[in-house]
């Protein structure tokens, strides 16, 4: 499984998703559930393209997030279950898996800057930006304005040497 894990990480680092769709499907067969739904798959690809320099846990959470949709309703427990099983099978450490699960469980949650660790909050915020910007155009402006306000609150809490 180490080879599959390395291949997955290389695809995500190089941001070459479409050219490697077959490899992604071999590593994460569950993706067939969303590649068969063009709108969901295109949304996933757009969110990944928006996040080329984001940490690996955000990119992996984005991949699994759309697997949590059933009948146009997001089920974070389903996405988390699939992510946990797959990432364990690929040999990821528990701490990394729980970071991904946290992102999946909270991807639809309004961030309260005063009650969250700023580093975790910024990762969640970056994922939410990618999801919002890859979504429906008429919802983008209001959502981005809300995220920008939260971002400012989080950045005020982060030591200046971590924001550069």
Q: Which two tokens stand for residue 70?
A: 């059933």
Mean pLDDT computed over every residue of the chain = 85
With CA atoms as reference, report the closest residue to 127 among 114, 152, 108, 140. Answer: 108
Q: How far apart are CA 97 and CA 137, in angstroms?
A: 31
Higher pLDDT, 87 or 138: 87
What pLDDT is stored for residue 55 in this prediction? 92
pLDDT, tens digit, 9 for 90 and up, residues 128-138: 888 887 876 66
pTM (global) more than 0.85? no
In degrees and rounded to multiples of 5, residue 53 shows phi and psi of -105, 10
Higher pLDDT, 40 or 11: 11
Task: Report residue 110 CA to chain centroid gap.
Answer: 16
Please count the CA atoms within 13 angstroms of the CA of 18 that sit on its side-chain side: 8
């Amino acid at each position: 499984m180490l080879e599959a894990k390395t291949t997955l990480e290389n695809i995500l680092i190089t941001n070459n998703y479409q050219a490697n769709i077959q490899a992604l499907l071999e590593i994460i067969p569950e993706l067939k559930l969303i590649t068969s739904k063009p709108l969901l798959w295109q949304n996933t690809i757009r969110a990944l393209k928006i996040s080329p320099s984001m940490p690996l846990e955000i990119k992996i959470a984005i991949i699994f997030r759309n697997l949590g949709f059933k009948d146009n309703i997001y089920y974070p427990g389903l996405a988390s279950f699939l992510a946990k099983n797959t990432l364990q099978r690929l040999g990821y450490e528990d701490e990394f898996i729980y970071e991904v699960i946290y992102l999946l469980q909270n991807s639809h949650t309004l961030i309260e800057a005063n009650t969250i660790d700023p580093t975790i909050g910024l990762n969640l915020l970056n994922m939410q930006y990618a999801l919002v910007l890859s979504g429906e155009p008429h919802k983008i402006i209001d959502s981005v304005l809300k995220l920008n306000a939260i971002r400012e609150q989080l950045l005020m809490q982060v030591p200046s040497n971590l924001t550069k």
